[in-house]
Amino acid sequence: YEDEKFAYVAATRLPAPAPDADADAGADGEAPAGPAVPRVVRHPQIRKGQVLLDLCTPEGTLRRETVTKRHGAGYRRARDTAWGDTWPPPPAAPGAD
């Protein structure tokens, strides 16, 4: 049993502007934001042969995903996932273990 430390609140007066599909860079020269990905909202529950992840999706819904040993590299990365990380995580660099 563990108490959760955070709550999420998102508020806006106006809808967020849609990203421009033709733009290669943001207004300040930064790279455009990538597609929204789910975030881990609880500490991953590591069980024997599986990891349970509670995710907040870009649509604003909660989803539980089970990653098993059959997922191979995904399972290993799920064990190292922490609260607040994106899921699935970005691909690891070649040769980085």
Long-range contacts of 85-93 (CB under 8 A, 24+ apart): 85/39, 85/40, 86/37, 86/38, 86/39, 86/40, 87/37, 87/38, 87/39, 87/40, 87/53, 87/55, 88/37
pLDDT of residue 55: 92
Q: Please check the confidence at residue 70 and state whether its pLDDT lies above 50.
A: yes
For all residues of the chain together, what is the average pLDDT?
A: 77
Q: Please check the confidence at residue 31 and state whether its pLDDT lies above 50.
A: no
pLDDT tens string 32-44: 455 678 889 888 9
Average pLDDT over residues 75-96: 81
